[in-house]
């Protein structure tokens, strides 16, 4: 049985640098421990560039912000503005977790996991908002932070 945990809340934003600066200012008062470490990364998924930054919380849920050139995300921003994009759960065995969700009758955006090309070990799929009462749920590979970078977590090989 895979180990799955609630990991982060992710916000779709227009300006990643501005969002991180604003949250850094707030978190220094609200949760100083979480304000200490921000991990930045970027990649391409489906041919579209993405940038993201995550406030790592050593004892709880992380806060993540991302910019995306994906036309779907651009349309979301135009229609709804900046907003929570998804909540994420991570698994140490993403393949088995996807199979378990499928067997339980939980719809997925794809039974084939995908991810950014530059981190081949990082994979994800989603439970669509229609099933999750308006919230997109990401199911992703477990990861960790090493020297300020995303690295492979303690998961089984795909």
Give the domains, in start order, of the chain with CATH numbers. 4-152 (3.10.180.10)
Question: 35 is written with which tokens?
Answer: 């304000």
Residue 63 has pLDDT above 70, yes or no: yes
Average pLDDT over residues 32-48: 91
> Per-residue confidence at 123, pLDDT binned at 50, 70, 90?
very high
pLDDT of residue 119: 83
Predicted structure pTM score: 0.85
Q: Where are the beta strands (DSSP E) in the chain?
A: 4-12, 38-45, 48-55, 62-68, 83-91, 124-127, 136-141, 143-146, 149-152
Q: In this prediction, what percent of the chain has a pLDDT beyond 90?
A: 75
């Amino acid at each position: 049985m895979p180990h799955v945990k609630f990991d982060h809340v992710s916000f779709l934003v227009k300006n990643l640098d501005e969002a991180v600066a604003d949250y850094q200012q707030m978190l220094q008062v609200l949760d100083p421990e979480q304000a200490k470490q921000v991990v930045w990364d970027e990649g391409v998924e489906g041919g579209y560039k993405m940038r993201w930054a995550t406030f790592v919380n050593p004892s709880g849920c992380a806060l993540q912000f991302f910019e995306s050139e994906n036309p779907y995300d651009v349309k979301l921003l135009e229609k709804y503005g900046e907003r929570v994009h998804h909540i994420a759960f991570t698994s140490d065995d993403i393949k088995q977790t996807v199979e378990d969700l499928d067997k339980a009758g939980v719809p997925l955006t794809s039974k084939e996991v995908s991810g950014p090309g530059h981190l081949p070990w990082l994979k994800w799929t989603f439970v669509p908002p229609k099933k999750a009462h308006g919230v997109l749920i990401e199911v992703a590979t477990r990861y960790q932070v090493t020297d300020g970078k995303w690295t492979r977590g303690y998961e089984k090989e795909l």
